[in-house]
């Protein structure tokens, strides 16, 4: 599932973030190319804003043609919050699907090796798997007044990315319980289920600001 229904207000573009061009291709197109390059992916549900359903369909068709994938992409309308969009996507999955990857379109340059690592870990028996990278900054937990209350040991921290992979039944149960986490693994943690972290990749950065878009352009070897 590729969630692409956010407005991207922090990017300040005229179109929703997933439809902003990067080297001439919308972020969603780059993201889909990565997803469809993962051999384990049998179907894709794209979750987009209501006004972008046709555009998303056209982007999906173009990418499918480019990578030689056929008839595997469904487009559905997302919701107000990310959790609502994931729930909408879950409702559109085919009956036989047992493993679900949830991927942010905003992490449009995620290498296929990250998808493969997540899939491999779920297939090896993990119920929930997230890619993550070591944290280089020292992180402080603060109270509402900005006063530091704790400094977690940095070596125990990971900055997590997508795709996040789940046994379908666990993800459905997690979304039935609550929806207000900033990632899907957070909902699964609340069920008391274990979440495994595998190696992420700096190229899986989330495009949030125009500076991130410039970083993504540099990674592609172009200027934005
Ligand atoms: O807002 P944020 O950058 O955390 O969004 C992460 C991903 O979730 C993006 O790909 C965005 O399009 C998606 N999203 C969504 N529906 C929302 C909000 C965010 O699909 N209502």
**Domain boundaries along the sequence of the chain:** 2-219
**Ligand 1 mean position, distance from CA 71 (Å):** 25
- What is the pLDDT confidence band of residue 8, given thresholds at 50, 70 and 90? confident
Cβ neighbours, 10 Å, residue 175: 21
> What mean pLDDT value characterizes the chain?
95
Write the pLDDT tens digit of every residue in 181-205. 889 999 999 999 999 999 999 999 9
CA dist 224 and 216 (Å) reads 9
Q: Locate tokens 């921290």: which residue?
A: 157
Give residue 180's pLDDT band: very low, low, confident or very high (50, 70, 90): confident
Asked if residue 10 has a cis previous peptide bond (ω within 30° of 0), the answer is: no
Q: Which range, of 81-85, 138-142, 166-170, averages the lowest pLDDT?
A: 81-85
**What's the mean pLDDT in 3-31?**
94
pLDDT bucket at 86, cuts 50 / 70 / 90: very high
Ligand 1 site-directed mutation target among 28, 88, 104, 160, most atoms within 8 Å of CB: 104
- pLDDT class for 76, splitting at 50, 70, 90? very high
CA gap 37, 67 in Å, rounded? 7
Query: Among 82, 105, 160, 181, which residue has the most ligand 1 atoms within 8 Å of its CB, making it the best to mutate?
Result: 82
**What are the structure tokens assigned to 121, written together?**
């870990």
Average of pLDDT values for 140-149? 98
What pLDDT is recorded for position 9? 87
pLDDT tens profile 33-49 = 999 999 999 999 999 99
Q: Which of 2, 4, 6, 7 to mutate to test the pocket of ligand 1 (most atoms within 8 A of CB)?
A: 6
- Give distance in angstroms: CA of 106 to centre of ligand 1: 7
Q: pLDDT tens across 19-28, in order?
A: 999 999 999 9
Q: Is 65 exposed, middle or buried (0-12, 13-18, 19+ CB in 10 A)?
A: exposed
Residue 133 has pLDDT above 70, yes or no: yes
Beta bridge partner(s), residue 73: 44
Q: How far is the CA of 88 from the centre of ligand 1 (A)?
A: 13
Q: Are 24 and 67 in contact (CB under 8 A)?
A: no
The span from the CA of 92 to the CA of 72, in Å, is 12
Instruction: Identify the pLDDT of residue 224.
Output: 59
**Contact in structure between 167 and 122 (CB atoms under 8 Å):** yes
Whether 92 has a pLDDT exceeding 80, the answer reads yes
Instruction: Please give the CATH topology (third level) of the domain spanning 2-219.
Output: Spore Coat Polysaccharide Biosynthesis Protein SpsA; Chain A (3.90.550)
Higher pLDDT, 102 or 11: 102
**Residue 14 · residue 91 · CB < 8 Å:** no
Pocket of ligand 1 (CB under 6 A): 3-6, 17-18, 47, 78-82, 85, 104-106, 206, 208
For residue 164, give the H/E element and its range: strand 164-167
Q: Which residue's CA is the nearest one to ligand 1's atom 5?
A: 6
Q: How far apart are CA 44 and CA 34, in angstroms?
A: 12
Q: Counting beta carbons within 10 angstroms of the beta carbon of residue 156, is it exposed (0 to 12), middle (13 to 18) or buried (19 or more)? A: exposed
Q: pLDDT band at 127, cuts 50/70/90?
A: very high
pLDDT score recorded for residue 223: 67
**Rounded-to-integer distance, Cα 110 and Cα 205, Å:** 7
CA of 117 to the centre of ligand 1 (A): 23
């Amino acid at each position: 599932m590729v969630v692409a229904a956010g407005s991207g207000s922090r990017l300040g573009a005229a179109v929703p973030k997933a439809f902003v061009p990067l080297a001439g291709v919308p972020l969603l197109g780059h993201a889909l190319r990565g997803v469809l390059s993962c051999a384990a992916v049998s179907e894709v549900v794209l979750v987009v804003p209501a006004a972008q359903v046709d555009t998303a369909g056209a982007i999906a068709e173009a990418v499918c043609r480019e990578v030689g994938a056929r008839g595997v992409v469904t487009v559905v309308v997302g919701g107000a919050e990310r959790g609502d969009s994931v729930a909408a996507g879950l409702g559109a999955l085919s009956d036989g699907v047992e493993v679900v990857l949830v991927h942010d379109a905003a992490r449009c340059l995620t290498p296929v090796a990250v998808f493969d690592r997540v899939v491999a870990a779920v297939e090896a028996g993990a119920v929930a798997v997230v890619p993550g990278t070591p944290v280089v900054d020292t992180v402080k937990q603060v109270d509402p007044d900005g006063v530091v209350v704790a400094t977690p040991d940095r070596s125990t921290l990971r900055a997590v990315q997508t795709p996040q992979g789940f046994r379908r039944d666990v993800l459905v149960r997690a979304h039935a319980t609550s929806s207000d986490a900033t990632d899907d693994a957070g909902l699964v943690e609340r069920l008391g289920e274990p979440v495994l972290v595998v190696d992420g990749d700096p190229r899986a950065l989330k495009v949030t600001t125009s500076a991130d878009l410039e970083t993504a352009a540099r990674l592609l070897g172009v200027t934005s």
